[in-house]
Each structure stands twice: as C-alpha cells, then as structure tokens.
Amino acid sequence: MSQTLQSVRGMNDILPDEAEFWELFEDTVRSWLKSYGYRPIRMPIVEPTPLFKRAIGEVTDIVEKEMYSFEDSLNGEQLTLRPEGTAGCVRAVIQHNLAAQQPRRLYYIGQMFRHERPQKGRYRQFHQVGVESFGFTGPDIDAEMILMGARLWADLGLDGIELQINSLGQPDERAQHRAALIAYFEERAELLDEDAKRRLYTNPLRILDTKNPAMQEMCAAAPKLIDYLGPESLAHFEGVQRVLRDAGVPFTINPRLVRGLDYYNLTVFEWVTDKLGAQGTVCAGGRYDGLVEQLGGKSTPACGFAMGVERLVALIRESGGEPAAPAPDVYLVHQGDDASRLAFRVAEGLRDQGIDVLLHCGGGSFKSQMKKADASGATFAVIIGDDEAATGEAQLKPLREGSGEQKKMKVDGLAEAIIGQLIDLEEEE
C-alpha cells in the first residue's frame, strides 16, 4: 500500500464544524468593516519576490528566514507566497492608480505563508484580515483604526484584549535614536545573542523586538525612541491618544513596541491577550507613510493593521463562543422511481421559496432515511413514496417538539405550510 499523503506541516485543513465558525466570524468582520466605509480588494497569493524584499526590508525575520520563495520554472522569475498583505495591497494601489483622486479605505481576508516553527497560534499557512487606508495624513485615521479594534472585540463578545501603542517617529528621528542605540548595545556586546549581533549595525531597533528572555532586561533599559521625537511627531502621537481617551479606550504606551516590519513610522499599535499563551498578539499595525513611494508610487500617506484569524477564532472558542450548527429546514425522504423524480421537483420548489432542503441521496429504506433526517437536525421531514407520488402528495412530518402534527398534503401546498410553521416556531423562541 502506498503511504497516505498528509497536508504540509503547519498548514491546516479547516473542517466543516470549524469552517462554519470561520464563516460566522467573517460575516461579523465584513459588516464591521462596511460600517467604517472599508471596501474589499483581492490580490494574488503569489507576488514577485523583490516586492517583499523592498517592502518588508532585507533584515527582518520574514525576509531573512520565513518566506516561501521559488523560481518560476517556465521563465525563471523569482516568486514568493505572500507572507503578509500590505506589500501586495500597496503594489495594487500603485499599479491601478487607486489613491490618486481620493483617499481609499481597503480590506482583504486571506491566506499568508511564513516558514516558522509551527506551534499553538503560529502556523505556516495562516489567515489575516488586513485593513489599509491611503491618502490620510492626520492622527485621526490612526485613531479610528485603533477604535475599530475595540468595536470588533465587542461585536465578537471578546474582552481582556489590551491595547499597546507607540510612536516610531520619522526616519531622521530614528537615525539619531539608532546611533544612541548602537552605542548602548556596543557597550554591552557580551549580552547580545547571535541574531542581535548580526542586526547591530543593520537594524538595531529590531533587537528591541527580541523574544530572548536573557536580553529582556537590557532591552528594557535601552535608549527610548520617544525621547528622540521632535514636536511634530509628538503632536501626532498626542492626537492619537486624545481620540482614544475621548472614546474611553484604555491603552498603555510600550516604548519597546517596534513591530517586525521595516516600513512603519509614527503610530504603531498591537492588541494583545494573555489568554493564548506566548502567541498573544491578535492584531497589529501602524502608519507607513514612506512605503508607497518606496515601491515606486507617488508619495502617499498610509496606515493599516492586520489581525490573525486563527488566534481570534481560538480566543472566541476560549471564551465559550460556539455558533449553533446550522440545520436544514427540511430533510427530504423518498423511495421509488416516481417518488424520487417528484422529490427533486419538490426540493427545487421549496428552495425557490427560500426553504433550506437536504435531499436524501444514496437510496436506502424509509427507516434508515428517517434516521438520517433526525440526525440532520432538520425541523421537518418531507416524505414521498410511490403512493404519494401517484396523487401528487407528500407527508409533512415535524421532527422537533412544537412543530405540529404529521400531515399528508398536496405538494403544491408544502411551502406555505412549512413557512407558516417556521414563523410560529420562531415566535415561540
């Protein structure tokens, strides 16, 4: 026997019970986005590798070691499965000149790929909801994007997700801080791990983002970027905080919040829970005013965030959220040639009236079909045998308490009878 094939490590199937949960989650997310004026955009999953190198930065975890990159065997082009959505979204905005006339609010939901060590809350294929805005300069949009998070957690029935914010200032302010940071780390070179040593002169800010416990204390005492911000950057940061305070959204300023991607400036933020172990960040983002120009577009201010769907779904489950498994209104039981032909017609006719029908497929006795009808959770069984078929009739059998008595009736009257009783049931609930 040949070996059975398995999914790729860290890339999961999402089975129907789970997938239904995901769809409910996505419904909530879509109506939430719509209520803030965001419109969908769908980008390819594969992009040219140089896009990510330029957007995310060469000296980042993602580009150094997490990308699934390959050569197109037909034309030799270097391609990568997207590790995040912002780069592709910016590329699309530039390519289609989307932000030229008016500011844009855009979102996407989809797979991302990173070659990481799989563990709870960290996968090689995972999903993000990405939200991006283009063409807004002021702190108002940053603040609104943060407020959006607070509303979504409420819509999803989640609490205890804490907000951390920071400001990364502008490139010249970062340059001054960077010099101070390098000097600080040079004096403590014996405490640096391999990653940190490698990044010392390329990307010292990222050393602060380390997960190495041995370096935490040293990083906590390192020079803080906020002390290097000029008046404009500080005013922007203050503007964001004012909206948050007005809205009553609590936050903490975390000076070590630097984000794993190079493109951010000014506001950065993360929403973090302590209920998911080490992988507690469920949403992260910030401003990235330089990226559009850096990727060849006309200078356009921008701001965005991404949420990890797996982590949020896990959190909803953790908090006891469980959607009811959807059941059909009708399970259609039929036996005999004439009965089966009529059953197809009846099923389509009921669906025309908006009734959900599970048509029994695969034959079998009435008894075994009725067992399946019960197990389906349907409100009614509609039963058609050749006797019924001969007279154009069917049995309507309620399967749940309170949905009435079994009746024989003309098939033309079924929809009305079913809808009437469904309405009665709904009123009782």
Please give the residue ranges that form the binding site for ligand ATP (CB under 6 A).
84, 114, 116, 121-123, 126, 128, 260, 279, 281-282, 284, 306, 308, 310-311
Please state the closest distance from residue 310 (CB atom) to ligand ATP, in A. 5
Residue 143 contacts residue 251 (beta carbons within 8 Å): no
CB nearer ligand ATP, residue 142 or residue 310: 310
Q: Which residue lies nearer to ligand ATP by CB, 203 or 403?
A: 203
CB of 366 to ligand ATP, least distance (A): 48
Residue with Cβ nearer ligand ATP (91 or 259) = 259
Shortest separation between residue 123's beta carbon and ligand ATP, angstroms: 4
- The sign one gets for the Cα dihedral 43, 47, 50, 52 is positive
Residues 377 and 331: their CA atoms lie apart, in Å, by 9
* Closer residue to ligand ATP, CB minimum distance, 11 or 327: 11
Min dist CB 7 to ligand ATP, Å, is 15
With 0-12 / 13-18 / 19 or more C-beta atoms within 10 angstroms meaning exposed / middle / buried, residue 2 is exposed
Residue nearest to ligand ATP (CB): 308
- Is residue 7 helix, strand or coil? coil
Q: What is the DSSP string of 221-241?
A: TSPPGGGG--HHHHHHHHHHH
Residue 62: partners with Cβ closer than 8 Å, 6 or more residues away? 52, 56, 83, 84, 114, 260, 261
CB nearer to ligand ATP: give 64 or 116.
Answer: 116
Do 220 and 256 contact (CB within 8 A), yes or no?
yes
Q: Which is nearer to ligand ATP, 117 or 367 (CB)?
A: 117
The distance of closest approach from Cβ of residue 308 to ligand ATP in the complex, given in angstroms and rounded to an integer, is: 2
Label residues 170-179 b or e (16+ Cβ within 10 Å = b). beebbebbbe
Nearer to ligand ATP, 181 or 268 (CB): 268
Minimum CB separation from ligand ATP for residue 304, in Å? 10
At 249, list the tokens.
């959204």
Q: What is the rounded distance in angstroms from the CA atom of residue 127 to the CA atom of residue 260?
A: 17
Question: How near is the Cβ of 261 to ligand ATP at its closest, in Å?
Answer: 6
